[in-house]
Structure 1
Amino acid sequence: METLPTGISVLDREFDGGLPSGSVVVLKADPASQSELIVDRFSRPRTCRYLTTVRSADAVEETLTHDGGGESGESDADRGDGGAGETAVEETDREDPIDDVLAAAAELPERATLVIDSAEPLEAADRSRYGSFLTDLRRHVDDAGGIAVIHAFKGDNGPNRVVTEQVADVVFDLRTTVTGTEIVNRLIVPKFRGGAALEEPLKLKLTDTVSVDTSRDIA
């Protein structure tokens, strides 16, 4: 099984080079967090089809980085990712996005990344249809030897969120804590099928880039 870089060097170091090809990845985060920065980095190392189910394609395009800049300004060549690929941003049907997502997954180039941002409109489908959707999505991604990244916001989620996390091979849980003096972001990886989940949270600095936060926690 090939390992594909995530675009975030600290994760690639923790996971011996990246994520297994064919993986379906879920990134859970608060809607008001900087999780879009992580999704942006996931889209950079390889050819990517970025499907937006809520925001307009223009809005997504404006926030994506296209200069290959990574953590703390490092380039793709510095990270050894083999160079950034092209990212094509597409809007899905707002009322029924499932068919659009499956069509894109069926045409996913070899070793490419499929980003689904975000999961909530898909999870609104009935349980049977949504389960079949995830099965088909996983098959298409595995056939392409690529990775699917599902951006899933926390909140008043319906019963299909459990199905999303059950089918996923990897679950990233970004937890943002706001105190009177700082904003702390910790990335927890409770599930890593085919590998080892992290034993401890990663403290991240999410500003205009993604980097490791080396500041000490003060009780």
Structure 2
Amino acid sequence: MGEKLSTGVPTLDRRLNGGLNPGDLMAIVTAPATQSHALIAQMMRERSTLYLTTLRSASAIESDFDVLADSESAVIVEDVASGVSMENEFLHELTGSRTYSVASLTDDGMLDDVYEAVQRIDDPGNVVVDPTNPLERTADRKAYQEVLDALKTRLMETGSVGVLHCITHDDPPVFRETTLMVADVVWELDVRAVANGDVEFQLRIPKNRRGNAVLEEITLLIDQQRVYVDDSRNI
């Protein structure tokens, strides 16, 4: 199986018997306003990352992760979106803005772009797809699953970890069940409270194919882009 890979949160690593397994494909399922990017950034500090953005522009993503400037881990951002479609409130809610260039939600060409990017992965690291929603709304379930299978294969071959950022919404993507079925690990993240400048989350790990599920809730805190567990609490 190989040496475990850190999540970037030591207490969480201990709960997972050392962290994530090389080759794991993980789905982070969360609402748009959870600041889940901070959790992804913690993983990006641990190893180099290929970041595939399906909705927001590459420059917007790079701006988000300016906090990683002091990290030795390389970050490559590829924009796999094309065209402009900002006609519904779902997209506005995901991006928080009406200024981002996004792809048509029925453009299967995006799947081709993701597939081609996946084939270029040669070194171990993280591969982030953010968000998966546009891919899950494409017209061809088989083509979408083939992209996920190709990603999983490259993760196993290179000892990498894949992160599928799955945003929840009142209108779930038609292929969300496919995503959760293929994923080796599922993290469910919910906002619980905001107090004293800290954002408090509840994390559950109902699926962990090559390890133990964590069914009890783990309380995560975000403070100045750092994600941690308050070890003084009974978690």
TM-score by length of 2: 0.79
SS of residue matched to 1:66: helix
Specify which of 211, 221, 224 is matched with residue 195 of structure 1: 211
Q: In structure 2, what is the equivalent of residue 141 of structure 1?
A: 155
Choose 92-101 or 38-47, whichever is displaced more: 92-101
1:93-136 Cα deviation digits (max 9, x unpaired): 32432122222221213221101111001101222221222112
* 1:178 CA drift (Å): 4.9
Specify which of 87, 102, 119 is matched with residue 75 of structure 2: 87
How many positions carry a matched residue from both structures? 203
CA contact (8 A) 1:51 1:115 kept: yes
1:113 partner letter: N
Identity, % of aligned positions: 33
1:59 partner letter: A
Q: In structure 2, what is the equivalent of residue 204 of structure 1?
A: 220
Q: In structure 2, what is the equivalent of residue 160 of structure 1?
A: 175
Q: Which runs of 5+ in 1 are unaligned?
A: 70-83
Correspondence 1:106-117 to 2 at 5 A: 106-117=119-130
1:22-54 Cα deviation digits (max 9, x unpaired): 110000111011111011112221111011111
Correspondence 1:166-181 to 2 at 5 A: 166-178=181-193
Q: Distance in 2 between matches of 1:48 and 1:24?
A: 14
Choose 172-181 or 201-210, whichever is displaced more: 172-181
CA contact (8 A) 1:43 1:115 kept: no
1:66 partner letter: L
Report the RMSD for the aligned CA atoms in angstroms: 2.2
CA contact (8 A) 2:185 2:208 kept: yes
Q: Distance in 1 between matches of 2:115 and 2:134?
A: 14
Q: Which runs of 5+ in 2 are unaligned?
A: 82-102
* 1:179 CA drift (Å): 8.2
2:75 partner letter: T
* Mapped pair 1:151 → 2:165: yes
CA contact (8 A) 1:47 1:109 kept: no
Q: Distance in 2 between matches of 1:26 and 1:67?
A: 26
TM-score by length of 1: 0.84
SS of residue matched to 2:117: helix
